[in-house]
A and B are shown apart, each in its own frame.
Chain A
């Protein structure tokens, strides 16, 4: 009888630990899945349609890159109990603090416009007018955060993350060649045609959708709002790692779907890809459109929250999803202001949406190195980070990532501004 009671005790202990682990999951998965926003989905569909499965290996490489960068925000948030904006103001003073905050506000607002563009385009496939789509989005985004509990918001966001996995069945439905997937995933190579300006732009766009400044602000503030402690860092890292795997899987399946069905077809964005797939396979086209709407929605909510948290931290407003609207009015006001402003721009007839999309890419990639340099310096500040300071291996990995991104971002910025300069 003793062994039975021991077994029951063990099972209960494993259950408790599993529940605790599942309860702790959230910020890492949400930020990584939200990273596959409307712009990200467009990038993957265009990559698949243009280069088939040839760049799968590159996306796999981006998984660890995203993990290493985001994992630092988990440590920084749990140790300092400060959001990213406040951490930069405190550590580097007002000049760099304002620079980072204004950089975040500008890029977030512009990126949010692209999310609304994606959502209206997705629902237009089902003949929903843009005005109605924007209205639905405002209602959904408002309802998501009004509970006054971080936990409730997080679970709703995780549900939207699960919907983002809608692309996985689509990949099975196109019956891709497993041999081709394995080869293109494991053997790094250039697509037919070699290294061209177009390929460089798409590679940079893929990097830009995997690492963005708002993600650093979002995850750190989210970790602080969730009140994670230093003892939770391991789970926070696991949460980030699971998220990194999911983001790569979603990117890969989209490339597999579009690379199989649309290879060689000119495609401008995800909505166009869904429209072109509809006559071939209505279910897959519908799945892509639904996924695009979900990606835009999740992206817009997280980006707007990242800005609200940042403003709250710097201006000293109450800034927590655990507070009701009455208790943190400015925090919620800024969140809605951001959503209303971005949604309204999309409804303006003749708004320069293509120019805005291009501007987002240039500004984001130009300003990304600044955010990464601050992060590395903060994680090497022994006085603040104590035993959670970057290890030599973490510094090697992160500094290598930052150096490569700075070099590529500079080339990208210059090549967009002066297309003929790089040939």
Chain B
């Protein structure tokens, strides 16, 4: 239990430490990150879709 609490506290500390991105958010950087999100959501969505199809079979 104590180990779990410590782990949660560590994760929270990491989240606080890295809350603000250090890189300068130019339009190019923002564009790249948005495109990356779209790419990942699409492919992960396809994987879930495939999983559902396989599960139904």
Instruction: List, in ascending order, chain A residues with CB within 8 A of B29's CB.
Output: 377
In the bound complex, CA of A417 to CA of B39 (Å): 15
In the bound complex, CA of A413 to CA of B43 (Å): 7
Instruction: List, in ascending order, chain B residues with CB within 8 A of A93's CB.
Output: 18-21
Instruction: List, in ascending order, chain A residues with CB within 8 A of B14's CB.
Output: 89, 94, 97, 314-315
Task: Using CB atoms, name the residue of chain B closest to A381.
Answer: B23
Task: Using CB atoms, name the residue of chain A closest to B50.
Answer: A417
A94-B15 in contact given A406-B39, A410-B39 (Cβ < 8 Å): yes
Decide if A357 is an interface residue (CB 8 Å cutoff).
no
Interface segment among A161-169, A211-219, A365-373: the answer is A365-373
Task: Using CB atoms, name the residue of chain B closest to A363.
Answer: B47
Decide if B46 is an interface residue (CB 8 Å cutoff).
yes
**8 Å CB contacts to B: which residues of A80-106?**
89-94, 96-97
**8 Å CB contacts to B: which residues of A359-418?**
362, 366-367, 369-370, 373, 377-378, 381, 383-384, 406, 410, 413-414, 417-418
| Contact yes or no, A90 B22, CB < 8 A | yes
In the bound complex, CA of A373 to CA of B30 (Å): 12
CB distance from B20 to the nearest CB of A (A): 7
CB distance from B7 to the nearest CB of A (A): 9
The one of B15, B39, B50 that contacts A369, using a Cβ cutoff of 8 Å: B39
| Contact yes or no, A94 B22, CB < 8 A | no
Instruction: List, in ascending order, chain B residues with CB within 8 A of A383's CB.
Output: 24
Decide if B8 is an interface residue (CB 8 Å cutoff).
no
| Contact yes or no, B40 A91, CB < 8 A | no
| Contact yes or no, B18 A89, CB < 8 A | yes
Instruction: List, in ascending order, chain A residues with CB within 8 A of B43's CB.
Output: 366, 410, 413-414
**8 Å CB contacts to A: which residues of B27-57?**
29, 32-33, 36, 39-40, 43-44, 46-47, 50
Instruction: List, in ascending order, chain A residues with CB within 8 A of B20's CB.
Output: 93
* Interface residues of chain B: helix, strand, loop or mixed (majority): helix
The one of B19, B22, B32, B46 that contacts A91, using a Cβ cutoff of 8 Å: B22
Q: Tell which of B15, B29, B39, B43 has the most Cβ of chain A within 10 Å.
A: B43
Chain B interface size range: 20 to 34
| Contact yes or no, B32 A377, CB < 8 A | yes
Instruction: List, in ascending order, chain B residues with CB within 8 A of A418's CB.
Output: 46, 50
Q: Tell which of B17, B18, B24, B36 has the most Cβ of chain A within 10 Å.
A: B18
The one of B10, B19, B39, B40 that contacts A94, using a Cβ cutoff of 8 Å: B19
Instruction: List, in ascending order, chain A residues with CB within 8 A of B18's CB.
Output: 89-90, 93-94, 97
The one of A96, A315, A373 that contacts B10, using a Cβ cutoff of 8 Å: A315
| Contact yes or no, B23 A377, CB < 8 A | yes
Instruction: List, in ascending order, chain A residues with CB within 8 A of B21's CB.
Output: 90-93
Instruction: List, in ascending order, chain B residues with CB within 8 A of A413's CB.
Output: 43, 46
Instruction: List, in ascending order, chain B residues with CB within 8 A of A315's CB.
Output: 10, 14
Task: Using CB atoms, name the residue of chain A closest to B47.
Answer: A417
A417-B32 in contact given A93-B19, A381-B24, A383-B24 (Cβ < 8 Å): no
CB distance from A89 to the nearest CB of B (A): 4
In the bound complex, CA of A93 to CA of B47 (Å): 26
Instruction: List, in ascending order, chain A residues with CB within 8 A of B32's CB.
Output: 373, 377
CB distance from B57 to the nearest CB of A (A): 14
CB distance from A422 to the nearest CB of B (A): 13
A91-B50 in contact given A97-B18, A377-B32 (Cβ < 8 Å): no
| Contact yes or no, A370 B36, CB < 8 A | yes
In the bound complex, CA of A224 to CA of B49 (Å): 41
In the bound complex, CA of A91 to CA of B25 (Å): 10
The one of B23, B40, B44, B46 that contacts A92, using a Cβ cutoff of 8 Å: B23
In the bound complex, CA of A273 to CA of B31 (Å): 46
20 A–B pairs (Cβ distance < 8 Å), ordered by A: A89-B17, A93-B18, A93-B19, A93-B20, A94-B18, A97-B18, A314-B14, A366-B40, A366-B43, A366-B47, A367-B40, A369-B36, A369-B39, A370-B36, A384-B23, A406-B39, A410-B39, A410-B43, A413-B43, A414-B43
Q: Which 10 pairs from chain A and chain B are nearest by CB?
A: A93-B21, A91-B23, A89-B18, A417-B50, A94-B18, A90-B22, A94-B15, A366-B43, A92-B21, A413-B43
- 5 further A-B pairs in the complex, CB-CB below 8 A; given A370-B36, A413-B43: A377-B23, A381-B23, A381-B24, A414-B46, A418-B50
User: Which A residues lie at the B interface, using CB under 8 A?
Assistant: 89-94, 96-97, 314-315, 362, 366-367, 369-370, 373, 377-378, 381, 383-384, 406, 410, 413-414, 417-418
